[in-house]
Chain A
Amino acid sequence: MYASTLVLALSVTSCNDTKELDKGTLIIQFENLLDGEALKFEGTRYNRDQVDFQIAVLKYYISNVKFLDETGQVIYTEEESYHLLEETASRKDLAIELTELEVQEVSSIEFSIGIDPEKNLSLDNTGDLDPSNEMAWNWDTGYKFLLMEGEIFESEGTRKGMVYHIGGNENYKTIKKEVNTKIKAGTTTTIEIKAEVLSLFDAPHYININEVNVAMGGENASKIAENYANNFFSINTPN
């Protein structure tokens, strides 16, 4: 009834196995802080908005890492650049390692928090985007960009969950930071980035964590996203 057609499709990816010695490595090392001190998890109670709280887990995606030169020109773009950074009491996975880099001066780096709209359309991904990382929504296709969970103790004996799941294309934010560093041949350069948890709730939008103990989409999630775009990250410039 229907004619059969035979189509040949050939896709070739070139293979490049040569490892060059005149290349360098850069590690972007994140550190989570709360009120300027290393973040501590369950067992350590913090206080804000007249309540005690503790944190169980903090995870966020850093993606689409780029380097810029002093004129603002992009000089390096990482391919398939999706990194899930994760910290709990028992797990610390906060480094991004970029290898095989050209030797060059890097004035600033650019990265995004979250997953770009193109990749955020589908969950059948591997690696850091594998849904087994529990950062995918199951009823609304897309990834949680930032997840923080913990508990709030309103008064002795009463506790409630603290759940912030921030995602959605509108909350994908790109951040640029001056680093003024150099990639050196055969050497690993490290950039340290501090992530201050309290700044998720500080500015431009003050968020009372006792009133807004849950944000998963909607206005409060967008406020937190504007906060993380604003002041979540700060760079420890070398020297």
Chain B
Amino acid sequence: MLKIHKNYIFSLLLILGFTIGGCNEKEIIPQYTIEVPDNLGGYLPQNGRNKFTEKGVLLGEKIFFDQRFSSNGKVSCATCHEPERAFTDGLALSNLGVSGKALNRNSPTLANVAWAVGLFWDGGALNLESLSFGPLTHVDEMNNDLDSLVDWLSNDPEYSPLFLEAFPALGVSSASISRALAQFQRTLISANSKYDQYTRTDENIFSAAEKRGLQLFTQHCSSCHETDHLTDFDYHNNGLDSEFNDTSLEEVFMGRYRISRDERDIGKYKTPTLRNIALTAPYMHDGRFPTLESVLIHYAKGVQDSETLSPILKDGEQLGIKLSPKEQSEIIEFLHTLTDEEFINNY
């Protein structure tokens, strides 16, 4: 949210852009770029065809929390992406949608989603501007119809001027709904955790256990959960299963293969960011692990072999990562330093 970033460590660069909507009608739309700390690359990526405007971001935020965008008036994006849980819902497989039927995958965090290269666990959605149509219309999510949404919004005295101000050329349209949501979601920046403070300014704020945890993490985990985004934006099989024979539901259980159709991608999923990980249980694409302890036990003892298992998790006959119980708990101590209270309270 823009007003927050002002009293945060970020600042706004005001760019004035002139856009021309129709013949000889000039309009001035102030556009913003948002700076972010150096350890996240210094600037916030945006989509060239949907640059930030203050009005666009605020409209997107309003839509994100508005349950009237669902067919029964009870579900918003925030129903499954709750700020207090770093924009997740606490369920293994969410049944919070209109139908009450469980989805097939776990609701991921939206923290730092501006940097994501592919969206969804298999990277099927290419950008935020394209993704929103899925949840807005899916029967098990918000179950709405884009035409009736546009009808409602065009006649709504509160919303229709907001759309015209934020998107003078598009007005109320399915494209502008999605663009506003995308602008807002890109401002969900988590960059002020204890870990960020440790790397940016103050090495003394980590306890001895947290420091050892970070060391172990760097040694064993960060080849995939690369700092400081805590993801390499790539797809791996981290050994959850040994077989991927279930081709039902348009191959949703086959991982990245469903999108790339490359057999080497069977069972691979996107490396999730671990930012705010202590708040986003349960874990993995299907929410199978309830706690961080169970995740660490998986990496230490539970890794399953298969054709596509990441070589990093396999050393000859030895599967997984050798970690003593003490080392596991030190890594967990470190993972807790990725919680960003400022983000949760003032996103």
Contacts and interface: CB of A to CB of B under 8 A. Distances in A.
Given A17-B23, A124-B179, A130 B125 contact: no
Interface in A115-144: 121-126, 130-132, 136, 138-141
B170 interface: yes
Contacts of A5: 13, 15
- Report which residue of B9, B15, B120 has the largest number of chain A beta carbons within 10 angstroms of its beta carbon: B15
A12 B24 CA distance: 9
Interface string A1-42: 110111111111101010000000000000000000000000
Interface in B1-32: 9-20, 23-24
B15 A9 contact: yes
A12 B11 CA distance: 30
B130 A141 contact: yes
Nearest to A168: B261
Main secondary structure on B side of the interface with A: mixed
B174 A130 contact: yes
A216 interface: yes
A126 B261 contact: no
B178 interface: yes
B315 interface: no
Contact of A141 (B19, B35, B124, B146): B124
A66 to B, nearest CB: 25
B330 interface: no
B137 A138 contact: yes
Interface residues of A, number: 31
A9 B129 contact: no
A124 B178 contact: yes
B261 A139 contact: no
Contacts of B145: 132
A218 interface: yes
Contacts of B179: 124
Contact of A12 (B12, B20, B131, B261): B20
Contacts of A161: none
Given A123-B130, A123-B178, A130-B173, A7 B16 contact: yes
B46 interface: no
Interface string B123-160: 01111011101100110000001110010000000000
B250 interface: yes
A217 interface: yes
Nearest to A8: B16
B137 A10 contact: no
A140 B259 contact: yes
Contact of A136 (B15, B49, B133): B133
A217 B15 contact: no
Nearest to A130: B174
B50 interface: yes
A122 B9 contact: no
Contact of B174 (A8, A12, A131): A131
Nearest to A138: B134
Interface in A132-181: 132, 136, 138-141
Given A138-B138, A141-B126, A125 B133 contact: no
A9 B129 CA distance: 23
B24 A217 contact: no
A124 B175 contact: yes
Contacts of B261: 217-218
B261 to A, nearest CB: 7
Contacts of A130: 146, 173-175
- Report which residue of B12, B124, B179 has the largest number of chain A beta carbons within 10 angstroms of its beta carbon: B124
Contacts of B120: 139
Interface in B194-220: none
A132 B178 CA distance: 12
Contacts of A10: 18
Contacts of B174: 124, 130-132
A131 B18 CA distance: 28
A189 B35 CA distance: 56
B124 A139 contact: yes
Interface string A202-228: 000000000000001110000000000
A132 B144 CA distance: 11
Interface of B: 9-20, 23-24, 35, 49-50, 120, 124-127, 129-131, 133-134, 137-138, 145-147, 150, 170, 173-175, 178-179, 182, 250, 258-259, 261
Q: Identify the 8 closest CB pairs spanning chains A and B, nearest first.
A: A138-B134, A132-B146, A123-B130, A124-B129, A141-B126, A15-B23, A124-B175, A140-B124
Given A11-B20, A123-B129, A218-B261, 5 more contacts: A15-B24, A122-B127, A124-B50, A124-B179, A139-B250
20 contacts: A2-B10, A4-B13, A6-B16, A9-B17, A11-B17, A11-B19, A12-B20, A15-B24, A121-B127, A126-B175, A130-B174, A132-B146, A132-B174, A138-B137, A139-B125, A139-B134, A139-B250, A140-B124, A141-B127, A141-B131
